[in-house]
Structure 1
């Protein structure tokens, strides 16, 4: 049987990974699988950093960034600061079919979505609005406005050997209007080449984009490194470099998969991710930075999962 696989960032991607794995097991395309995976996250209102229910910018507006890449053709589509669109990654995928104008931002991206029949809706839920209003009050007592920046980034490998990558995020909570992070930027937030593999990032976009880390991981896999070695060798030395030369480094977490379905991850924070392949059922794993530029990966505990569910559904007080 031909191999297939998918890997995606954070616990929030797991239900999407399960859906994508079913598609891939039935010889579905890599593009359909990665779009289905991310659509699942975008539509769930309790995930506060992606899509519907995503937290807004400082003006109370939900601005979303997303990207899609075809690993066969290297075609890419992306949107930045798009508004009122239920599935930003689907708009990005549509843009990937265009040779020109394939990366659209702001009003231009939103108009493209409207013109082409994508589902439009008010993306600011009552819950997200309440969280935003609470944060406005908190800002009167602190000068640290930013909080939360979890992107769903995913890689898929189809039985045909084709691969795809996608990202979607509502970005940094309380960001300035028009701010765009690494998620829609080729090579930073994502990269995939079906002859090698793919990688995707989550974390503080302003710092991730300084290292073009998704491309660097794919480049290393292309030179023969395993996905895990490529992640470790790309991420940890760069974090050290950034601390030395820039003075600090934000949160970094990256996942990767090669064209054989082997996978890897590296992170400088506690990081959950979901993975499924033709050899292993969909599961949620926990990664932490280990000694000597390595990554420690363990199964996530039921206690952690229970606490997670309680946290994301907790009332806004």
Structure 2
């Protein structure tokens, strides 16, 4: 058994391009890193990597994390500027014994010492989006926050290694130094090759309150299917958060166990990508109905074709 699952339709081409390597027996960590790098490198995906959405000061600060579920090695970076592939920096940090989570200038200096190039990651498009939003916030008193689609991926290889990873530019117009759930172990990601892996996307300030990626893996370890583990984890936490905090933001989870079975949970309209030894890379759409049920459907071929055509010519 082998497979991979990723948040959001932007992951599709990375999954397609790297899935052949997984079929051929490539290590899960190599597949995950390469698939996320494709998203980081492509400027049309404006919530991850190059061309991402800046903070309130117009600075692009990136977060990423990597976890090897066979060794429990973890590496993470947060608030890192000017380095194009934070997932690769995070993975490299996972090989250290100490100092595995670095932030801001410390993360950047580490990356540069390892040969990563410092470069301007803001595109004309992302800069213009920031300038437009700045004017709207000033003139119309609109909330600045928008656009926080994290790419999160779980990969299971033929040797039963499970890895998970995330990459994000975080909330659009976030405060300088703000960190969401994406680079936080247990919140944005978790992996245990004895059980499975999970990642999260959505409003980090709420997700980190529930340590939801760890909770999904824990419930899979108790015998729940990936789908049941994800959906009960989200539902139970939403109810508790509403009771204790009074509000609940957007949250979505994806997971896969060590049998290649997958699951998701969401409280918003959500897309994700799955590929296993039993199915080729497929984009799914999902949403929660008014009665609380989660509806999951394969994206129509025409919808996928239109999306792939559009993404090459406009920002997503």
TM (norm. structure 1) is: 0.95
Which of 48, 54, 57 aligns to 2:55? It is 57
Aligned position for 2:33: 35
SS in 2 for 1:24: helix
Gap runs ≥5 in structure 2: none
Which of 126, 130, 133 aligns to 1:132? It is 130
Aligned position for 1:82: 80
Cα deviation 1:146-203 (Å, max 9, x = unaligned) = 0110000000000011111110000000000000000000000000000100000000
Which of 45, 51, 59 aligns to 1:47? It is 45
Q: CA deviation at 1:120?
A: 2.8
State the distance in 2 between where 1:100 and 1:239 align. Answer: 35
Which of 86, 90, 95 aligns to 1:97? It is 95
Residues 1:286 and 2:290 are matched in the alignment: no
Aligned position for 1:173: 172
Cα deviation 1:231-264 (Å, max 9, x = unaligned) = 0110012112212211111100100000010000
State the distance in 2 between where 1:221 and 1:20 align. Answer: 26
State the distance in 1 between where 2:174 and 2:244 align. Answer: 25
Instruction: Tell me the matched-pair count.
Output: 314
Aligned position for 2:18: 20
SS in 2 for 1:256: strand
State the distance in 2 between where 1:154 and 1:293 align. Answer: 25
Aligned position for 1:252: 251
Superposition CA RMSD, Å: 1.7
Matches within 5 A, 1:193-204: 193-204=192-203
Q: CA deviation at 1:299?
A: 1.2
Worse overlay, 5-14 or 132-141:
132-141
State the distance in 2 between where 1:312 and 1:223 align. Answer: 43
State the distance in 2 between where 1:261 and 1:292 align. Answer: 29
TM (norm. structure 2) is: 0.96
Cα deviation 1:86-139 (Å, max 9, x = unaligned) = 100000000001111000000000000001102332111111001111111111
- Per the alignment, do residues 275 and 315 of structure 1 end up closer, same or farther by CA in structure 2, a change over 3 Å counting? closer
Matches within 5 A, 1:185-196: 185-196=184-195
State the distance in 1 between where 2:34 and 2:114 align. Answer: 19
State the distance in 1 between where 2:64 and 2:166 align. Answer: 5
- Per the alignment, do residues 309 and 242 of structure 1 end up closer, same or farther by CA in structure 2, a change over 3 Å counting? farther
- Per the alignment, do residues 99 and 315 of structure 1 end up closer, same or farther by CA in structure 2, a change over 3 Å counting? closer
Gap runs ≥5 in structure 1: none
SS in 2 for 1:160: coil
SS in 1 for 2:235: helix
Aligned position for 2:235: 236
Does the Cα contact within 8 Å between 1:6 and 1:20 map onto a contact in 2?
Answer: no
Does the Cα contact within 8 Å between 2:44 and 2:311 map onto a contact in 1?
Answer: no
State the distance in 2 between where 1:307 and 1:92 align. Answer: 30
Aligned position for 2:270: 271
State the distance in 2 between where 1:14 and 1:64 align. Answer: 21
SS in 1 for 2:229: helix
